[in-house]
Amino acid sequence: MINPFRLPEEQERIPDPAILVIFGVTGDLARRKLMPALYNLARENLLPARFAVVGFARSDWDDQKLRSEMRKAVEVFSRTPLIGPVWEDFAQHLYYFKSHYDDVEGFRRLATCLQELDAQYNIPGNRLHYVATPPVVFESIIRNLGIAGLNQPASPEGWVRIVIEKPFGTDLESAKRLNARVNEVFHEEQVFRIDHYLGKETVQNLLAFRFANSIYEPLWNQKYIDHVQITVAESVGVEARAGFYDQTGALRDMVQNHMMQLLSLMAMEPPVALEADAVRDEKVKVLRAIKRLTPPDVPKVVVRGQYGPGAINGQPVPGYRQEPGVAPNSTTETYVAMKLEIDNWRWAGVPFYLRTGKRLPKKISEIAVYFRSPPQLLFEGQLEHGFTTNVLAIQIQPNEGISLTFNAKIPGSEMRIRPVVMDFRYGSSFGMSTPEAYERLLLDAWQGDATLFIRADEVEESWRLLTPVLETWAQMPPPDFPNYPAGTWGPSEADVLLALDGRRWRRL
Protein backbone atom coordinates (compact mmCIF):
# COMPACT_ATOMS: atom_id res chain seq x y z
CA MET A 1 0.00 0.00 0.00
CA ILE A 2 2.36 2.67 -1.25
CA ASN A 3 1.19 6.26 -1.54
CA PRO A 4 3.84 8.29 -3.38
CA PHE A 5 2.74 11.43 -1.56
CA ARG A 6 3.87 10.11 1.84
CA LEU A 7 7.38 10.11 3.25
CA PRO A 8 9.04 6.67 3.47
CA GLU A 9 8.72 6.48 7.23
CA GLU A 10 4.96 7.04 6.89
CA GLN A 11 4.30 4.39 4.25
CA GLU A 12 3.24 1.58 6.55
CA ARG A 13 1.62 3.68 9.26
CA ILE A 14 -1.40 1.82 10.63
CA PRO A 15 -4.46 4.06 11.03
CA ASP A 16 -5.93 4.97 14.39
CA PRO A 17 -8.54 2.74 16.01
CA ALA A 18 -11.90 3.89 14.66
CA ILE A 19 -15.42 2.93 13.66
CA LEU A 20 -16.26 2.99 9.95
CA VAL A 21 -19.96 3.56 9.24
CA ILE A 22 -21.03 2.61 5.70
CA PHE A 23 -24.36 4.18 4.72
CA GLY A 24 -25.87 2.06 1.96
CA VAL A 25 -24.06 -1.14 2.94
CA THR A 26 -26.56 -3.35 1.06
CA GLY A 27 -25.85 -1.55 -2.22
CA ASP A 28 -23.70 -2.48 -5.17
CA LEU A 29 -20.75 -0.23 -4.26
CA ALA A 30 -20.34 -1.79 -0.82
CA ARG A 31 -20.53 -5.31 -2.24
CA ARG A 32 -18.25 -4.83 -5.24
CA LYS A 33 -15.72 -2.35 -3.91
CA LEU A 34 -15.83 -1.32 -0.26
CA MET A 35 -16.04 -4.65 1.52
CA PRO A 36 -13.48 -6.38 -0.73
CA ALA A 37 -11.16 -3.40 -0.17
CA LEU A 38 -11.56 -3.61 3.60
CA TYR A 39 -10.96 -7.36 3.53
CA ASN A 40 -7.72 -6.87 1.57
CA LEU A 41 -6.56 -4.18 3.99
CA ALA A 42 -7.21 -6.63 6.83
CA ARG A 43 -5.44 -9.40 4.92
CA GLU A 44 -2.36 -7.20 4.58
CA ASN A 45 -2.48 -6.14 8.26
CA LEU A 46 -3.16 -2.52 7.36
CA LEU A 47 -6.19 -2.07 9.63
CA PRO A 48 -5.82 -1.29 13.33
CA ALA A 49 -6.33 -4.09 15.84
CA ARG A 50 -9.23 -2.14 17.37
CA PHE A 51 -11.89 -1.24 14.81
CA ALA A 52 -15.51 -1.86 13.88
CA VAL A 53 -17.46 -1.55 10.64
CA VAL A 54 -21.14 -0.65 10.99
CA GLY A 55 -23.31 -1.13 7.93
CA PHE A 56 -26.31 1.24 7.85
CA ALA A 57 -29.24 0.50 5.52
CA ARG A 58 -33.00 0.04 5.37
CA SER A 59 -33.07 -3.70 4.58
CA ASP A 60 -34.28 -6.19 7.15
CA TRP A 61 -30.84 -7.63 7.91
CA ASP A 62 -28.92 -8.40 11.10
CA ASP A 63 -25.23 -8.91 11.95
CA GLN A 64 -25.16 -12.49 10.68
CA LYS A 65 -26.94 -11.63 7.45
CA LEU A 66 -24.47 -8.81 6.81
CA ARG A 67 -21.49 -11.08 7.44
CA SER A 68 -22.91 -13.82 5.23
CA GLU A 69 -23.71 -11.49 2.33
CA MET A 70 -20.38 -9.70 2.51
CA ARG A 71 -18.49 -13.00 2.52
CA LYS A 72 -20.21 -13.88 -0.75
CA ALA A 73 -19.28 -10.46 -2.13
CA VAL A 74 -15.63 -10.84 -1.16
CA GLU A 75 -15.47 -14.32 -2.69
CA VAL A 76 -16.65 -12.89 -6.01
CA PHE A 77 -15.08 -9.42 -6.15
CA SER A 78 -11.88 -9.46 -4.08
CA ARG A 79 -8.62 -9.13 -6.04
CA THR A 80 -7.15 -11.83 -3.75
CA PRO A 81 -8.68 -15.19 -2.76
CA LEU A 82 -10.66 -15.32 0.46
CA ILE A 83 -8.71 -16.97 3.29
CA GLY A 84 -11.10 -18.50 5.83
CA PRO A 85 -9.34 -17.58 9.11
CA VAL A 86 -8.61 -14.03 7.88
CA TRP A 87 -12.24 -13.55 6.90
CA GLU A 88 -13.60 -14.98 10.16
CA ASP A 89 -11.44 -12.63 12.20
CA PHE A 90 -12.41 -9.66 10.04
CA ALA A 91 -16.12 -10.57 10.01
CA GLN A 92 -16.32 -10.40 13.80
CA HIS A 93 -15.86 -6.64 13.45
CA LEU A 94 -18.91 -6.24 11.13
CA TYR A 95 -22.22 -5.00 12.56
CA TYR A 96 -25.54 -4.11 10.97
CA PHE A 97 -27.75 -1.17 11.87
CA LYS A 98 -31.22 -0.84 10.34
CA SER A 99 -32.80 2.59 9.84
CA HIS A 100 -34.17 4.92 7.20
CA TYR A 101 -31.91 7.74 6.08
CA ASP A 102 -34.49 10.41 6.93
CA ASP A 103 -35.21 9.03 10.43
CA VAL A 104 -33.59 11.36 12.98
CA GLU A 105 -34.31 8.94 15.83
CA GLY A 106 -32.49 6.24 13.89
CA PHE A 107 -29.37 8.39 13.85
CA ARG A 108 -29.68 9.05 17.58
CA ARG A 109 -29.86 5.30 18.14
CA LEU A 110 -26.81 4.95 15.87
CA ALA A 111 -24.91 7.36 18.13
CA THR A 112 -25.70 5.13 21.12
CA CYS A 113 -24.62 2.04 19.18
CA LEU A 114 -21.30 3.63 18.28
CA GLN A 115 -20.66 4.61 21.90
CA GLU A 116 -21.21 0.99 22.92
CA LEU A 117 -18.76 -0.19 20.27
CA ASP A 118 -16.26 2.43 21.47
CA ALA A 119 -16.39 0.86 24.91
CA GLN A 120 -16.22 -2.69 23.53
CA TYR A 121 -13.15 -2.03 21.37
CA ASN A 122 -11.55 0.75 23.43
CA ILE A 123 -11.87 3.22 20.56
CA PRO A 124 -11.39 6.91 21.49
CA GLY A 125 -14.46 8.20 19.63
CA ASN A 126 -12.95 8.19 16.10
CA ARG A 127 -15.52 7.99 13.30
CA LEU A 128 -15.24 7.59 9.52
CA HIS A 129 -18.64 7.96 7.86
CA TYR A 130 -18.87 6.67 4.28
CA VAL A 131 -21.89 7.82 2.25
CA ALA A 132 -22.26 5.09 -0.39
CA THR A 133 -25.91 5.76 -1.21
CA PRO A 134 -27.74 7.28 -4.18
CA PRO A 135 -27.26 11.07 -4.24
CA VAL A 136 -30.93 11.70 -3.48
CA VAL A 137 -30.33 10.89 0.21
CA PHE A 138 -26.96 12.65 0.65
CA GLU A 139 -28.49 15.72 2.25
CA SER A 140 -30.71 13.70 4.62
CA ILE A 141 -27.75 11.69 5.87
CA ILE A 142 -25.56 14.75 6.35
CA ARG A 143 -28.30 16.70 8.12
CA ASN A 144 -29.15 13.85 10.48
CA LEU A 145 -25.51 13.20 11.31
CA GLY A 146 -25.39 16.79 12.51
CA ILE A 147 -28.64 16.59 14.49
CA ALA A 148 -27.45 13.42 16.21
CA GLY A 149 -24.08 14.97 17.05
CA LEU A 150 -22.25 12.45 14.89
CA ASN A 151 -20.33 15.24 13.16
CA GLN A 152 -18.34 15.82 16.35
CA PRO A 153 -15.74 13.54 18.00
CA ALA A 154 -17.12 11.44 20.83
CA SER A 155 -14.08 12.28 22.97
CA PRO A 156 -11.62 15.20 23.21
CA GLU A 157 -8.88 13.21 21.49
CA GLY A 158 -11.14 11.75 18.79
CA TRP A 159 -11.83 12.75 15.19
CA VAL A 160 -14.72 12.54 12.69
CA ARG A 161 -14.44 12.41 8.89
CA ILE A 162 -16.97 11.85 6.12
CA VAL A 163 -16.41 10.32 2.67
CA ILE A 164 -18.97 11.31 0.03
CA GLU A 165 -19.29 9.40 -3.24
CA LYS A 166 -19.85 10.91 -6.65
CA PRO A 167 -21.80 12.37 -8.31
CA PHE A 168 -21.42 15.51 -6.21
CA GLY A 169 -24.21 17.58 -7.69
CA THR A 170 -25.72 17.55 -11.16
CA ASP A 171 -24.70 21.08 -12.20
CA LEU A 172 -23.02 24.14 -10.70
CA GLU A 173 -25.98 25.29 -8.60
CA SER A 174 -26.69 21.85 -7.13
CA ALA A 175 -22.99 21.36 -6.33
CA LYS A 176 -22.88 24.72 -4.57
CA ARG A 177 -26.03 23.83 -2.63
CA LEU A 178 -24.65 20.45 -1.58
CA ASN A 179 -21.33 22.01 -0.55
CA ALA A 180 -23.24 24.52 1.55
CA ARG A 181 -25.25 21.73 3.25
CA VAL A 182 -22.09 19.74 3.95
CA ASN A 183 -20.27 22.75 5.37
CA GLU A 184 -23.19 23.54 7.67
CA VAL A 185 -22.47 20.24 9.43
CA PHE A 186 -18.79 19.46 8.79
CA HIS A 187 -15.63 21.53 8.48
CA GLU A 188 -14.00 21.27 5.06
CA GLU A 189 -10.99 19.42 6.49
CA GLN A 190 -13.38 16.68 7.64
CA VAL A 191 -14.83 16.15 4.15
CA PHE A 192 -13.39 13.62 1.67
CA ARG A 193 -15.13 13.78 -1.73
CA ILE A 194 -14.06 10.61 -3.46
CA ASP A 195 -13.27 9.88 -7.09
CA HIS A 196 -11.93 6.35 -7.29
CA TYR A 197 -9.88 7.18 -10.40
CA LEU A 198 -7.48 9.12 -8.17
CA GLY A 199 -6.69 5.90 -6.32
CA LYS A 200 -5.48 4.07 -9.42
CA GLU A 201 -1.75 3.41 -9.40
CA THR A 202 -1.03 5.04 -12.76
CA VAL A 203 -3.04 8.15 -11.90
CA GLN A 204 -1.03 8.57 -8.72
CA ASN A 205 2.14 7.97 -10.69
CA LEU A 206 1.41 10.96 -12.92
CA LEU A 207 2.95 13.35 -10.41
CA ALA A 208 5.89 11.07 -9.70
CA PHE A 209 6.47 10.62 -13.44
CA ARG A 210 6.32 14.34 -14.12
CA PHE A 211 8.14 15.83 -11.16
CA ALA A 212 10.60 13.07 -10.19
CA ASN A 213 12.15 12.80 -13.67
CA SER A 214 14.19 15.54 -15.30
CA ILE A 215 13.71 14.09 -18.81
CA TYR A 216 10.07 15.01 -19.39
CA GLU A 217 9.21 18.00 -17.24
CA PRO A 218 11.25 20.48 -19.37
CA LEU A 219 9.28 19.25 -22.41
CA TRP A 220 5.88 19.45 -20.69
CA ASN A 221 4.65 22.64 -22.37
CA GLN A 222 3.32 24.21 -25.56
CA LYS A 223 6.80 24.48 -27.11
CA TYR A 224 7.18 20.69 -27.40
CA ILE A 225 3.68 19.20 -27.05
CA ASP A 226 1.28 19.34 -29.98
CA HIS A 227 -1.85 18.03 -28.25
CA VAL A 228 -3.13 15.65 -25.57
CA GLN A 229 -5.81 12.96 -25.89
CA ILE A 230 -7.60 11.54 -22.85
CA THR A 231 -9.75 8.46 -23.43
CA VAL A 232 -11.97 6.62 -20.97
CA ALA A 233 -13.68 3.87 -22.96
CA GLU A 234 -16.07 1.20 -21.70
CA SER A 235 -17.24 -1.88 -23.58
CA VAL A 236 -20.20 -2.43 -21.23
CA GLY A 237 -23.61 -0.81 -21.51
CA VAL A 238 -25.57 0.59 -18.59
CA GLU A 239 -25.91 -2.85 -16.91
CA ALA A 240 -28.04 -2.49 -13.75
CA ARG A 241 -27.62 1.31 -13.59
CA ALA A 242 -30.24 2.31 -16.17
CA GLY A 243 -32.44 4.16 -13.69
CA PHE A 244 -29.48 6.28 -12.56
CA TYR A 245 -27.72 6.58 -15.89
CA ASP A 246 -30.72 7.71 -17.93
CA GLN A 247 -31.00 10.71 -15.60
CA THR A 248 -27.26 11.36 -15.66
CA GLY A 249 -25.48 10.70 -18.96
CA ALA A 250 -21.81 10.48 -19.87
CA LEU A 251 -20.95 14.15 -19.26
CA ARG A 252 -22.06 14.05 -15.63
CA ASP A 253 -21.04 10.43 -15.01
CA MET A 254 -17.50 10.54 -16.43
CA VAL A 255 -16.35 13.91 -17.77
CA GLN A 256 -17.15 16.13 -14.79
CA ASN A 257 -15.21 13.98 -12.33
CA HIS A 258 -12.84 11.33 -13.71
CA MET A 259 -11.75 13.15 -16.84
CA MET A 260 -11.43 16.59 -15.28
CA GLN A 261 -9.23 15.04 -12.60
CA LEU A 262 -6.99 13.39 -15.19
CA LEU A 263 -6.71 16.62 -17.15
CA SER A 264 -5.83 18.71 -14.10
CA LEU A 265 -3.14 16.25 -12.94
CA MET A 266 -1.66 16.21 -16.44
CA ALA A 267 -1.59 19.98 -16.79
CA MET A 268 -0.91 21.28 -13.26
CA GLU A 269 2.18 23.17 -12.16
CA PRO A 270 4.57 21.63 -9.60
CA PRO A 271 3.03 21.97 -6.12
CA VAL A 272 5.09 23.68 -3.41
CA ALA A 273 4.85 20.47 -1.32
CA LEU A 274 3.44 16.97 -1.66
CA GLU A 275 0.61 17.85 0.70
CA ALA A 276 -3.13 17.75 0.17
CA ASP A 277 -3.89 21.45 -0.19
CA ALA A 278 -0.73 22.22 -2.14
CA VAL A 279 -1.58 19.58 -4.76
CA ARG A 280 -5.24 20.57 -4.91
CA ASP A 281 -4.37 24.28 -5.21
CA GLU A 282 -2.55 23.56 -8.46
CA LYS A 283 -5.37 21.40 -9.82
CA VAL A 284 -7.87 24.20 -9.20
CA LYS A 285 -5.63 26.67 -11.06
CA VAL A 286 -5.77 24.43 -14.13
CA LEU A 287 -9.57 24.19 -14.00
CA ARG A 288 -9.83 27.97 -13.70
CA ALA A 289 -7.53 28.45 -16.70
CA ILE A 290 -9.62 26.33 -19.09
CA LYS A 291 -11.33 28.55 -21.64
CA ARG A 292 -15.02 28.84 -20.83
CA LEU A 293 -17.46 27.45 -23.37
CA THR A 294 -20.22 29.76 -24.60
CA PRO A 295 -23.45 28.48 -26.20
CA PRO A 296 -22.11 29.14 -29.75
CA ASP A 297 -18.93 27.20 -28.85
CA VAL A 298 -20.67 24.03 -27.69
CA PRO A 299 -21.77 22.61 -31.09
CA LYS A 300 -18.28 23.30 -32.46
CA VAL A 301 -16.18 21.65 -29.75
CA VAL A 302 -18.48 19.13 -28.03
CA VAL A 303 -19.93 15.97 -29.62
CA ARG A 304 -22.52 13.76 -27.95
CA GLY A 305 -23.63 10.34 -29.00
CA GLN A 306 -25.82 7.40 -28.07
CA TYR A 307 -25.16 3.78 -29.03
CA GLY A 308 -27.53 1.72 -31.11
CA PRO A 309 -27.61 -2.04 -31.62
CA GLY A 310 -24.31 -3.63 -32.56
CA ALA A 311 -21.80 -6.25 -31.50
CA ILE A 312 -19.12 -6.51 -28.79
CA ASN A 313 -16.52 -9.26 -29.26
CA GLY A 314 -18.71 -10.80 -31.92
CA GLN A 315 -21.77 -10.97 -29.69
CA PRO A 316 -24.88 -8.94 -30.58
CA VAL A 317 -25.91 -6.33 -28.00
CA PRO A 318 -28.96 -4.06 -27.85
CA GLY A 319 -28.99 -0.34 -28.38
CA TYR A 320 -29.22 2.02 -25.43
CA ARG A 321 -32.94 2.63 -25.96
CA GLN A 322 -33.55 -1.13 -25.85
CA GLU A 323 -31.81 -1.54 -22.48
CA PRO A 324 -34.14 -2.46 -19.57
CA GLY A 325 -35.16 0.65 -17.66
CA VAL A 326 -34.27 3.12 -20.43
CA ALA A 327 -36.97 5.28 -22.01
CA PRO A 328 -37.60 4.23 -25.66
CA ASN A 329 -37.13 7.83 -26.83
CA SER A 330 -34.28 8.72 -24.43
CA THR A 331 -31.94 11.52 -25.50
CA THR A 332 -29.38 10.75 -22.78
CA GLU A 333 -25.85 10.75 -24.16
CA THR A 334 -23.70 7.63 -23.74
CA TYR A 335 -20.72 9.21 -25.52
CA VAL A 336 -19.00 12.59 -25.26
CA ALA A 337 -16.00 13.97 -27.13
CA MET A 338 -14.78 17.50 -26.57
CA LYS A 339 -11.92 19.88 -27.23
CA LEU A 340 -10.69 22.05 -24.36
CA GLU A 341 -7.97 24.71 -24.26
CA ILE A 342 -6.01 25.88 -21.23
CA ASP A 343 -5.22 29.57 -21.41
CA ASN A 344 -1.98 29.82 -19.44
CA TRP A 345 1.73 30.17 -20.19
CA ARG A 346 2.41 26.43 -20.20
CA TRP A 347 -0.45 25.24 -22.39
CA ALA A 348 -1.54 28.11 -24.65
CA GLY A 349 -2.32 26.67 -28.09
CA VAL A 350 -2.27 23.00 -26.99
CA PRO A 351 -5.72 21.40 -27.39
CA PHE A 352 -6.83 18.70 -24.96
CA TYR A 353 -9.18 16.22 -26.63
CA LEU A 354 -11.39 14.16 -24.32
CA ARG A 355 -13.60 11.21 -25.25
CA THR A 356 -15.59 8.74 -23.20
CA GLY A 357 -18.35 6.34 -24.08
CA LYS A 358 -20.18 3.12 -23.41
CA ARG A 359 -20.32 0.11 -25.76
CA LEU A 360 -17.02 1.03 -27.38
CA PRO A 361 -14.85 -1.81 -28.73
CA LYS A 362 -12.78 -2.27 -25.58
CA LYS A 363 -12.38 -1.11 -21.99
CA ILE A 364 -9.38 1.18 -21.81
CA SER A 365 -8.40 4.42 -20.08
CA GLU A 366 -5.39 6.24 -21.44
CA ILE A 367 -3.70 9.63 -21.62
CA ALA A 368 -1.71 10.14 -24.84
CA VAL A 369 0.72 13.05 -25.14
CA TYR A 370 1.56 13.88 -28.76
CA PHE A 371 4.84 15.75 -29.14
CA ARG A 372 5.50 18.18 -31.96
CA SER A 373 7.09 16.70 -35.07
CA PRO A 374 10.70 17.58 -35.93
CA PRO A 375 11.64 18.79 -39.43
CA GLN A 376 11.16 15.85 -41.77
CA LEU A 377 13.22 16.80 -44.83
CA LEU A 378 16.32 14.99 -43.51
CA PHE A 379 14.58 11.58 -43.76
CA GLU A 380 12.31 12.28 -46.72
CA GLY A 381 11.62 9.06 -48.62
CA GLN A 382 13.15 6.87 -45.89
CA LEU A 383 10.11 6.53 -43.62
CA GLU A 384 8.36 3.18 -44.07
CA HIS A 385 4.91 4.30 -42.98
CA GLY A 386 5.18 8.05 -43.09
CA PHE A 387 6.53 10.13 -40.23
CA THR A 388 5.22 9.06 -36.81
CA THR A 389 4.98 11.60 -34.04
CA ASN A 390 6.54 10.74 -30.70
CA VAL A 391 3.70 9.69 -28.38
CA LEU A 392 3.87 9.15 -24.65
CA ALA A 393 0.92 6.93 -23.63
CA ILE A 394 -0.02 6.54 -19.98
CA GLN A 395 -2.41 3.63 -19.65
CA ILE A 396 -4.58 3.72 -16.54
CA GLN A 397 -6.53 0.53 -17.16
CA PRO A 398 -6.69 -2.36 -17.76
CA ASN A 399 -2.90 -2.87 -18.08
CA GLU A 400 -1.34 -0.10 -16.01
CA GLY A 401 1.83 1.23 -17.57
CA ILE A 402 3.59 3.80 -19.76
CA SER A 403 4.84 3.51 -23.33
CA LEU A 404 6.84 5.81 -25.60
CA THR A 405 6.64 5.67 -29.40
CA PHE A 406 9.68 6.97 -31.25
CA ASN A 407 11.32 6.51 -34.65
CA ALA A 408 14.34 4.24 -35.08
CA LYS A 409 16.49 2.93 -37.95
CA ILE A 410 15.68 -0.55 -39.22
CA PRO A 411 18.79 -2.79 -39.16
CA GLY A 412 20.43 -3.12 -42.58
CA SER A 413 22.56 -1.28 -45.09
CA GLU A 414 19.86 1.23 -46.02
CA MET A 415 18.60 4.14 -43.94
CA ARG A 416 14.99 3.17 -43.33
CA ILE A 417 12.97 4.51 -40.41
CA ARG A 418 10.17 2.81 -38.53
CA PRO A 419 8.30 3.69 -35.32
CA VAL A 420 9.05 1.47 -32.31
CA VAL A 421 7.67 1.36 -28.78
CA MET A 422 9.36 1.29 -25.39
CA ASP A 423 6.93 -0.28 -22.94
CA PHE A 424 6.74 -0.28 -19.13
CA ARG A 425 4.15 -2.35 -17.27
CA TYR A 426 3.60 -2.28 -13.53
CA GLY A 427 2.90 -6.00 -13.28
CA SER A 428 6.05 -7.15 -15.07
CA SER A 429 8.37 -4.49 -13.65
CA PHE A 430 7.43 -4.83 -10.00
CA GLY A 431 6.26 -8.45 -9.98
CA MET A 432 3.20 -7.71 -7.86
CA SER A 433 -0.45 -6.88 -8.30
CA THR A 434 -1.38 -3.30 -7.57
CA PRO A 435 -3.94 -2.60 -4.85
CA GLU A 436 -7.46 -1.65 -5.88
CA ALA A 437 -8.19 2.07 -5.86
CA TYR A 438 -10.68 1.77 -3.01
CA GLU A 439 -8.10 0.07 -0.78
CA ARG A 440 -5.79 3.04 -1.08
CA LEU A 441 -8.52 5.64 -0.74
CA LEU A 442 -10.17 4.02 2.28
CA LEU A 443 -6.82 3.85 4.03
CA ASP A 444 -6.01 7.47 3.16
CA ALA A 445 -9.37 8.71 4.45
CA TRP A 446 -8.92 6.65 7.63
CA GLN A 447 -5.51 8.28 8.10
CA GLY A 448 -6.79 11.76 7.27
CA ASP A 449 -4.71 12.17 4.08
CA ALA A 450 -6.88 14.23 1.70
CA THR A 451 -4.39 14.46 -1.18
CA LEU A 452 -6.32 12.06 -3.42
CA PHE A 453 -9.73 13.53 -2.59
CA ILE A 454 -11.55 16.47 -4.15
CA ARG A 455 -11.95 19.83 -2.46
CA ALA A 456 -15.12 21.92 -2.63
CA ASP A 457 -13.67 24.49 -5.03
CA GLU A 458 -12.47 21.72 -7.38
CA VAL A 459 -16.00 20.39 -7.68
CA GLU A 460 -17.45 23.82 -8.36
CA GLU A 461 -14.82 24.81 -10.93
CA SER A 462 -15.43 21.60 -12.86
CA TRP A 463 -19.18 22.19 -12.87
CA ARG A 464 -18.65 25.87 -13.81
CA LEU A 465 -16.94 24.68 -16.99
CA LEU A 466 -19.45 21.97 -17.93
CA THR A 467 -22.80 23.41 -16.83
CA PRO A 468 -22.99 25.67 -19.95
CA VAL A 469 -22.70 22.51 -22.06
CA LEU A 470 -25.69 20.96 -20.30
CA GLU A 471 -27.67 24.19 -20.57
CA THR A 472 -26.89 24.53 -24.29
CA TRP A 473 -27.89 20.93 -24.95
CA ALA A 474 -31.19 21.55 -23.17
CA GLN A 475 -31.93 24.38 -25.60
CA MET A 476 -30.87 22.51 -28.75
CA PRO A 477 -32.97 20.04 -30.72
CA PRO A 478 -32.08 16.51 -29.60
CA PRO A 479 -29.62 14.73 -31.90
CA ASP A 480 -30.75 11.99 -34.21
CA PHE A 481 -29.99 9.20 -31.75
CA PRO A 482 -28.68 6.54 -31.94
CA ASN A 483 -25.71 7.80 -33.92
CA TYR A 484 -23.10 5.07 -33.42
CA PRO A 485 -23.41 1.29 -33.40
CA ALA A 486 -22.30 -0.58 -30.29
CA GLY A 487 -18.80 -1.93 -30.82
CA THR A 488 -17.51 1.12 -32.72
CA TRP A 489 -15.47 4.11 -31.52
CA GLY A 490 -18.35 6.57 -31.45
CA PRO A 491 -20.12 8.91 -33.86
CA SER A 492 -18.41 10.17 -37.00
CA GLU A 493 -18.71 13.75 -35.70
CA ALA A 494 -16.06 12.89 -33.10
CA ASP A 495 -13.61 12.08 -35.90
CA VAL A 496 -14.50 15.34 -37.63
CA LEU A 497 -13.76 17.23 -34.41
CA LEU A 498 -10.08 16.27 -34.70
CA ALA A 499 -9.95 16.19 -38.50
CA LEU A 500 -10.80 19.91 -38.60
CA ASP A 501 -7.52 20.48 -36.71
CA GLY A 502 -5.59 18.10 -38.97
CA ARG A 503 -5.44 15.38 -36.30
CA ARG A 504 -7.06 12.02 -35.59
CA TRP A 505 -7.84 9.87 -32.59
CA ARG A 506 -5.22 7.42 -31.46
CA ARG A 507 -5.94 3.78 -32.36
CA LEU A 508 -6.40 1.76 -29.18
Active site residues: 258
Residue 43 CA, distance from chain mean position: 25
> Looking at this protein, which amino acid is placed at residue 67?
R
Contact 468, 294 (CB under 8 A): yes
Positive/negative CA dihedral, 60, 64, 67, 71: negative
φ, ψ at 173 (rounded to 5°):
-65, -40
Residues in the chain: 508
Residues 6+ apart with CB under 8 A from 125: 118, 153, 154, 155, 157, 158
Residue 413 CA, distance from chain mean position: 50
Counting Cα atoms < 13 Å in the Cβ hemisphere of 112 gives 6
* Pairing outcome for strands 364-371 and 391-397: antiparallel
**Distance set, CA 42 to CA 15, 325, 426 (Å):** 12, 38, 23
- How many whole angstroms separate alpha carbon 355 and alpha carbon 490? 9
Closest CA to 137 of 21, 20, 33, 58: 58
Alpha helix stretches (DSSP H) within 275-327: 276-289, 298-301
Contact 360, 237 (CB under 8 A): no
What DSSP designation does 342 have?
B
Closest CA to 298 of 258, 333, 344, 267: 333
- How many whole angstroms separate alpha carbon 114 and alpha carbon 120? 10
**Is the backbone peptide bond immediately before 167 cis, with ω within 30 degrees of 0?**
yes
* Pairing outcome for strands 401-409 and 160-164: unpaired
Torsion, CA 313, CA 317, CA 319, CA 323, rounded to 10: -130
Positive/negative CA dihedral, 233, 238, 241, 242: positive
| DSSP letter string, 203-252 | HHHHHHHHHS-TTTGGG-STTTEEEEEEEEE-SS--GGGHHHHTTTHHII
**Distance set, CA 386 to CA 378, 410, 411 (Å):** 13, 14, 18
Residue 75: strand, helix, or coil: helix
